[in-house]
Amino acid sequence: FIQPGTGVTTTRADVHWVVTEYGAVNLHGRSVPERVKDLVSIADPKFRDELLAFAKEKKYL
């Protein structure tokens, strides 16, 4: 079993669904640019423009 306080990581390929109070997206099989757009679409609207700008700056889009 995993002990309390142990770090746990996963790869992006392991994540299928992400759910927030703004929606849900299935990321399975999606490219990085598609994942970025999907995740931004379910982010708090007040942060979406900033997230898109950051993604473009980092060449994810």
Give me the residue spans of the domains in the chain: 13-57
Residue 3 DSSP code: P
- Is residue 27 very low, low, confident or very high in pLDDT (cuts 50, 70, 90)? very high
Count of helix runs (H) and strand runs (E) in the chain? 2, 2
Phi first, then psi, for residue 48 (nearest 5°) are -60, -45
13 versus 30: the higher-pLDDT residue is 30
pLDDT of residue 30: 95
pLDDT of residue 10: 85
In whole angstroms, give the CA distance from residue 52 to residue 54: 5
pLDDT of residue 45: 98
pLDDT of residue 48: 99
